[in-house]
Chains A and B, each alone.
Chain A
Amino acid sequence: MTPRIPVTVLSGYLGSGKTTIVNRRLAEPGPLRLAVLVNDFGAVNVDARLIEAADSPVVELANGCVCCSIGDDLGAALDAVAALPQPPDHVLLEASGVADPARIAMTVGYWPGFRLDAIVVAADAETVRKRAQDKYVGNLVRQQLASADLIALTKTDLLYEHQADDLQAWLALVAPRARLVETQFGNIPNALLIGQASPSPTAPGYHGSHADIFVTATLNPETPVNLPRLKAALDALPETVHRVKGLVEDAESGETVLVQSVGARHEITPAPGLAPTGLVLIAPRPTASLDAAVEALSRACTEPAD
């Protein structure tokens, strides 16, 4: 079968900066064919000029019934995307500001032909804590943060250092699963936002790029990999590692498997017939512990089973 198209769910309440992130993606397309679905209700701010100029398909979801799934546009839009003559490599879904991203992720992540890449939740560093106390949307804002694999923290340049520290401590309580990425002007590298980074066939090492906003490290296990150990090692990775992705050989079956890990979410799926490429680790700068992470994963991959 054709591989499932990964969907990155981009959530966040009004004013969180998520539309800026979408606009930035449209303005600076990467090598992947990206389809963008926008599902906001009465607050669409995606730049129309960018939509026109983009070679990616950009779809705004339409009305459906409030009470049941009749006319539900999300499913129809996904089916339409999958049926394109040239289906996209990846879908970025800008969820409605009032949507529960976990529910959206469940819908799109298991939609026939698709799989969930990650839930990215944008949060305005200046206002998010106030929003989280709001009479009407406080619950929702906290629920969105709690569902995040990655939190894209916007406008961090407006905070004093002690405020930034307070905010991080608070986020660690509200969103214990999430990794944090600081962004300015919607600028998250594709490698972090949608995990677009091609595994390098070269030797392990660092590859700084994108104005040093993030770094990658590549790991090529020399022997087939013990998957239970790899899973345990992924669970134990430091919070500075945001994504791990690549193809390795399963020691038990001898088949190639696809490893995809975003924050605390890991998925290992069979990828028979593909050649192992090794694993790419992606982390935002500064990354003091990336060495240790490579080391830990490397050990897990190569040690023999008990």
Chain B
Amino acid sequence: MSEITVFTAKKIITMNAPMPEATAVAVRDGRIVEVGTLDTLKPWLDAHPHSIDNRFAGHVLMPGFIDPHLHPTLGATLLPCHFITAMEWVLPDRTCAPVTSHEAYLARLAEVVANEGADEEIVVTWGFHRIWHGNVDREALNAISATKPIFVWQRSFHEIIANDAAIAWMGTAREDLERHPQIDLASGRFFETGLAVAVQAMNKVLLAPQRYMKGLELVKRTVHLGGHTTIGELAYPLMNDQLEWQVLSMTMGAKDTPFRTKMVPRALQRGNFEGSPEEDVRRVAEYAERSTEKMFFGNNIKLFTDGGFFAELMQMRGPGFIDGHHGEWLMAPEAFETYARAFWLAGKQIHVHCTGDMGLELALDVLQKLQDEKPRFNHRFTIEHFGVSNPEQVQRIKDLGAIVSANVYYVHELGEAYWQKSIGYERASQMARLGSLERAGVKFALHSDFTMAPAMPLNSAWVAVNRIAESGAVLCPEECISVEAAMRAITIDAAYVLGMEDEVGSIRAGKKADFTVLEQDPFAVDPTALRDIPIWGTVFEGTPFPIAS
């Protein structure tokens, strides 16, 4: 058995109600021996060899942050792109300063093409947004380079603008592009179904194994940068089990990775003509034998009801969308019910992607049936994302024993856009209604669904506590939550959502020695400054991992 290390700190916020604060924590072999003060730790320290580590004397320790829903593979395709964004993005290998005008956008893009992107086959930049960057079209990109293929990927992925070199690089017959109603060659725009034509060409670069690997290294550092020590990959695999498992094992599964990943498999896998729920229950069970300390499967599975929130394809109950379009189902409601039943009867924890109030309604209707057929306690049926809902559904979530993992960042980035263009003020301002959940006593976590939101738990907490939208306006203060609830939602309640609360999520004897080391106390700062709290780094299973400056 190793020697005990005692970390002292200005303050230790344990997120463990019976002892909410402490100043010293004793750690041995990756686990917490005891938390308290140097005085209260004395019996342990008198009995065992130990050393005192005072490096955090000026810092605040919290339980290691947990993001219970993100997608490393998706992050890996985006992070190697060049970010030119209206908001500051702090990435592990760069900080992207805000670029908020047309001229500044083109100037920055020209810099990227001349420098960072000079050796790349194609330059792909992400973050373009007309509101800030004006009309960037093919001609403007041609002026930057006549020879380097440039693809400008719009911030919510719904549009790509290409220069002539990029259009030529795609290798698609020009007349095939010209006849496409959703490709405008004059302006270089690819949108809606035309977007898929551009992305299909870009995929050979975006998904090339070497780039994927490099992207995953960046994801790894991004996760650390956010202060996480545990994450959930919430739909494994994204595309291809063999390739993904191999590359994920080499990166996320490596010894030096300062966090662990709970893998949550998709309940059904397409592409093999095997459609029966029984086969899928067996397939999911077989993943268990791959588990390692760093990457492991548990009792959780992932299902989907309605479409993506950023894509405006959530299923909405009446009165629906302003423009009258309909959302989509990602699987037929009957198929959803069949699969949910198979995994419910197998005793699984079911995580359901639900974005609109109709998607949520389906999840709750099915949960009601399953409860009637085979009642279960502590089943932790989890509503993932929780975009649009109504207050009565919150009561049903509670009555049926469900819990929530929310992407509250929607409020910040989409709240005003969806108010103006999509569903109107009443419902848009109330998206991610966490205040109602807190008042009802429903457990919930905050997640990033990275890359849908920055993988920054303190940023998500900031949105949840303040509900500050892009322009600075506050949307529906009635749905703001307390700092206490927000801190629980990125620690102990996030652990609960992943079924890991016995191991992580709070600082108490016996748990993993995972800490997030902060420069300030989240309970003491002005709530509007939550996201600005600097993070020193983390302690993962007793080992400090500073964020490299």
* A residues apposed to B, CB below 8 Å: 1, 13-14, 38, 40-46, 48, 51, 60-76, 79, 96-100, 103, 106-107, 110-113, 136-137, 139-140, 143
Q: Are B273 and A42 in contact (CB under 8 A)?
A: no
The total of chain B residues at the interface (CB under 8 A) is 59
Q: Are B304 and A70 in contact (CB under 8 A)?
A: no
* B residues apposed to A, CB below 8 Å: 74, 77, 157, 172-173, 175-177, 179-183, 192-197, 199-200, 203, 206-207, 235, 237-240, 266, 268-275, 304, 307-308, 310-311, 315, 326, 328-335, 338-339, 353, 358, 362, 452
Q: Which residues of A contact B74 (CB under 8 A)?
A: 65, 67, 70
Q: State which of B177, B235, B272 has its C-beta within 8 Å of the C-beta of A60.
A: B272
Write the chain B residue with the least CB distance to A15: B334
Write the chain B residue with the least CB distance to A64: B239
Question: Given contacts A97-B332, A112-B176, is CB(A140)–CB(B326) below 8 Å?
Answer: yes
Cα of A103 to Cα of B193 in the assembled complex, Å: 7
Question: Given contacts A44-B275, A110-B181, is CB(A60)–CB(B270) below 8 Å?
Answer: yes
Q: Are B238 and A75 in contact (CB under 8 A)?
A: no
Write the chain A residue with the least CB distance to B308: A67
Cα of A76 to Cα of B353 in the assembled complex, Å: 25
Main secondary structure of the interface of A (DSSP, over half): loop
Q: Are B271 and A67 in contact (CB under 8 A)?
A: no
Cα of A101 to Cα of B102 in the assembled complex, Å: 38
Write the chain B residue with the least CB distance to A62: B271
Q: State which of A41, A70, A137 has its C-beta within 8 Å of the C-beta of B203.
A: A70
Main secondary structure of the interface of B (DSSP, over half): loop
Q: Are A46 and B329 in contact (CB under 8 A)?
A: no
Q: Which residues of A contact B77 (CB under 8 A)?
A: 70
Q: Which residues of B contact A61 (CB under 8 A)?
A: 270-271
Q: Are B200 and A76 in contact (CB under 8 A)?
A: yes
Q: Which residues of B contact A64 (CB under 8 A)?
A: 239
Q: A40-B275, A60-B271, A62-B270 known; 17 other A-B pairs, CB under 8 Å?
A: A1-B173, A41-B331, A42-B331, A44-B275, A60-B273, A69-B200, A70-B199, A70-B207, A72-B199, A73-B271, A75-B200, A106-B182, A107-B193, A110-B197, A112-B172, A136-B315, A136-B329
Q: State which of B193, B196, B307 has its C-beta within 8 Å of the C-beta of A66.
A: B307
Write the chain B residue with the least CB distance to A97: B332
Q: Are B271 and A66 in contact (CB under 8 A)?
A: no
Q: Are B273 and A48 in contact (CB under 8 A)?
A: yes
Q: State which of B180, B206, B266 has its C-beta within 8 Å of the C-beta of A70.
A: B206
Q: Which residues of B contact A70 (CB under 8 A)?
A: 74, 77, 199, 203, 206-207
Q: Which residues of B contact A38 (CB under 8 A)?
A: 273
Question: Given contacts A69-B196, A70-B199, A106-B182, is CB(A41)–CB(B332) below 8 Å?
Answer: yes
Q: Which residues of B contact A40 (CB under 8 A)?
A: 270, 275
Cα of A142 to Cα of B180 in the assembled complex, Å: 26
Q: Which residues of B contact A140 (CB under 8 A)?
A: 326, 328-329
Cα of A61 to Cα of B269 in the assembled complex, Å: 10
Q: Are B182 and A43 in contact (CB under 8 A)?
A: no
Cα of A99 to Cα of B183 in the assembled complex, Å: 22
